[in-house]
Amino acid sequence: MAKGTPKPDELSRIDYTPPQKEWMDTPVKLKPGMYCWGAKAKNLQAVGFPNARDWTPADEDWKLPENWEWTVLEGIYDRLKKYRSFQLFLDICVRCGACADKCHFYIGSGDPKNMPVLRAELLRSVYRRHFTFGGKLLGRIAGARKLTLDVLKEWWYYFFQCTECRRCSVFCPYGIDQAEITMMGRELLNLLGLNIDWIQGPVANCYKKGNHLGLEPHTIMSNIEFMLDDIESITGIRIEPSFNRKGAEILFVTPSGDLFADPGTYTCMGYLMLFHELGLDYTWSTYASEGGNFGFFTTNEMAKRLNAKIYAEAKRLGVKWILGGECGHMWRVVHQYMDTWNGPADFLEEPVSPITGTKFENAKTTKMVHIAEFTADLIRHGKLNLDPSRNDHLKVTFHDSCNTSRGMGIFEEPRYIIKNVCNNFYEMPENTIREKTFCCGSGSGLNAGENMELRMRGGLPRANAVKYVHEKYGVNMLANICAIDRAALSTLMDYWVPGVGVTGVHELVANALVMKGEKKRTTNLRGEPLPGVEEEEEEGKEEKEEQGG
Amino acid sequence: MPVIEYAGLEVELDDKGFLANFDDWNEKVACAIAEREGVPELTKERMEVINFMRQYYKQYNAFPILRAVCKNVHQPRDCVTEEFIDPLKAWKIAGLPNPEVVATESVDEAKKLYRLLVPD
């Protein structure tokens, strides 16, 4: 936790009183803890982004190129021509305010510029001034304003206080997708080298080494090897997965966070155990070693470049289809962009589960199946031997990730899985789940350390809903299907709702999975004793003592 | 770049407190950085963690999975956070360069946070 982050009781006293002056007359103040460090020169250079230089957001001088105003205006013009949605979303908003209190950042901060309508207005006002007749003529009366350095700084501050979660768009009567406004805003900032390093670093890593963490092939293998050792000591089964194997039926791609940080590593162990148990003909890749795509938080082009390796590797290895792990924004990219960016993937086949014969028709064009769909289908067909009592010490609730829920409609599959592998499942309140789910507060590349106050504020609505089920039902585990969630929610829970852990769904699956030839399990994947085991051991000890005495 | 002095030794660090040159490292340098980071004493357990991280970095050019560190040095599963609170401190004392955006944030942030914030 960054120094200076307020304590929970202080942070929860939120002031919703708007400033005295009108929003255009309220200049932006960059508050430490609410923003991330600026992108470093070397990370911008690595992918050929413009205006690569080291810069500090807190400094007066952002080292902008000459004529930067023109660059931005030209950028707006280009994007208006290229994306009809952008033009439409700028034009049709009637500022009804239905979205205003739906944003987790507004709820958690009380800052009116975090109301989605006003965040968009930051950009819309410039659009009006420079691109509409009324704005040119009437200026401020028509809600128009000039592009100035202060305006640019305001864009930067607030477009990196939006996680592109799209909750607001669920409530917009016009269906305006505010995430697209933020995405365009970030693209424009990117023209001036104004990204954040938490995004740009992973982008550079991914471009150079294939994944956000910059793990090299032998490191990936060593990390997985370590997990295999752990699996062997827990189950007695030695798993031998393959890497970069040509001719495998399925290529498996997951976010690299699963290969590195707890609790993602336990989810990864879950995948390994499940696939082994099925005898699945699949391979890992050390080249397409990243499912996530931080390029998506810079520009459309960059996202496309980083995404290209998934199909390229599938083609090189000659697999039939692709299976993807638990991730959030990875699936927005895969589901809505991949096949038009880098497809058609006509060298792949329509995915069919080799175990159940189910055709995944929803993945007909992308040829990539979400693991929650894959596993739910296995359970539905009775292909897994499950002992949910092994998860009896857990009272589980499920956090819908913004991208898998609002971006692709995965609501039922993870719940179906959890209900089959756990005996205690409780839903959070209805307006905080499924398509109305609240963001973790750290998505879209904002999962840094230096903006901790922002993250804890943005995560407050989600944490509040967890707190409700924690107090009402004793929920102690927050399940999810997203790598950023697994990292971000752990911090969030310890801040707002201590006593609630975080898990991937496939960790729960693997704990309940009775594998052929396994030894009697005494611990779960985290090395904690399984329910009932401690008592048994103690009883055993007592018996021995009695016998000995 | 700051230069710190410790028992007659001069150690050059980068502006975030990481050792400037990987090869400058020895146990005395480790003590110097540990003092700066507020780690009171480099016990046998801490030195084992540090030595393993150095060796791992040489081989893999990466931040190791923390559980893997503990398993390799035969210490309890939470040894790195138990011993150093912030795993990044161990990394610094081991004389390794700034891992920057490596997801150190998520690495057992939980315990670190809990200790730093909740007790008082």
Q: Is B90 helix (H, G, I), strand (E, B) or coil?
A: helix
- Residue to test with chain A: of B81, B107, B109, B120, most A Cβ within 10 A: B109
d(CA A350, CA A362): 10
Average pLDDT value for residue range B20-29? 91
**Chain A residues touching B107 at Cβ < 8 A:** 261-262
Residue with the bigger pLDDT between B106 and A341: it is: A341
d(CA B75, CA B88): 18
Whether chain B has a CB inside 8 Å of the CB on A202: the answer is yes
Whether chain B has a CB inside 8 Å of the CB on A260: the answer is yes
d(CA B107, CA B62): 14
**Chain A residues touching B59 at Cβ < 8 A:** 218
List residues of B whose CB lies inside 8 A of any A CB: 59-63, 65-68, 71, 77, 100-110, 112-114, 116-118
Query: B102 to chain A: nearest residue by CA?
Result: A213
- CB contact (8 A) between residue A261 and residue B100: no
**Chain B residues touching A219 at Cβ < 8 A:** 60-62
d(CA A179, CA A169): 8
Give the pLDDT score at B112.
Answer: 45
Of A205, A449, A498, the CB nearest to B114: A498
Alpha-carbon gap: B57 to the closest alpha carbon of chain A (Å): 10
Whether chain B has a CB inside 8 Å of the CB on A219: the answer is yes
**Chain B residues touching A216 at Cβ < 8 A:** 60-62
Which token pair is A341?
């960016």
Give the pLDDT score at A536.
Answer: 65
**Chain B residues touching A486 at Cβ < 8 A:** 106
Cα distances (Å, whole numbers) of residue A131 to A68, A145, A147: 17, 11, 12
Sequential DSSP letters for A124-151:
HHHHHHHH-HHHHHHGGGGT-----HHH
Of B60, B104, B107, the CB nearest to A222: B60
Of A201, A215, A222, the CB nearest to B100: A201
State the count of interchain CB pairs (< 8 A) between A and B: 90
- Residue to test with chain B: of A218, A228, A259, A260, most B Cβ within 10 A: A260
Closest C-alpha to A151, from A248, A244, A64, A39: A64
d(CA A405, CA A389): 28
- The predicted model scores a pTM of 0.91
Query: A227 to chain B: nearest residue by CA?
Result: B68
- CB contact (8 A) between residue B113 and residue A491: yes
Return the residue matching tokens 């611990």. Answer: A523
Give every residue of chain A whose pLDDT is below 70, as ranges.
1-3, 534-549
Contacts of A16 (CB under 8 A, 6+ apart): A110
Give the pLDDT score at B120.
Answer: 35
Query: A448 to chain B: nearest residue by CA?
Result: B105
Cα distances (Å, whole numbers) of residue B26 to B1, B31, B54, B95: 20, 9, 11, 9
**Chain B residues touching A11 at Cβ < 8 A:** none
Give the pLDDT score at A535.
Answer: 64
Return the residue matching tokens 């801490």. Answer: B46
Of A7, A197, A226, the CB nearest to B68: A226
Contacts of A546 (CB under 8 A, 6+ apart): none
Domain ranges across chain B: 3-117
Alpha-carbon gap: A497 to the closest alpha carbon of chain B (Å): 11
> If 0-12 CB within 10 Å is exposed, 13-18 middle and 19+ buried, where does residue A204 land?
buried
d(CA B42, CA B95): 14
Long-range contacts at A46-49 (CB < 8 A, ≥ 24 apart): A46/A203, A46/A204, A46/A207, A46/A208, A47/A203, A47/A204, A47/A207, A47/A302, A47/A305, A49/A190, A49/A193, A49/A195, A49/A200, A49/A298, A49/A302
**Chain A residues touching B61 at Cβ < 8 A:** 216, 219
The per-residue pLDDT for range A436-460, each reduced to its tens digit, is: 999 999 999 999 989 999 999 999 9
Q: Is A527 helix (H, G, I), strand (E, B) or coil?
A: coil
The per-residue pLDDT for range B63-100, each reduced to its tens digit, is: 888 889 999 999 998 899 888 888 889 999 999 988 76
Backbone angles phi, psi at A146, to 5 degrees: -75, 155
Of B101, B116, B118, the CB nearest to A197: B101
**Chain A residues touching B116 at Cβ < 8 A:** 1
| Average pLDDT of the residues of chain B | 82
Query: B109 to chain A: nearest residue by CA?
Result: A491
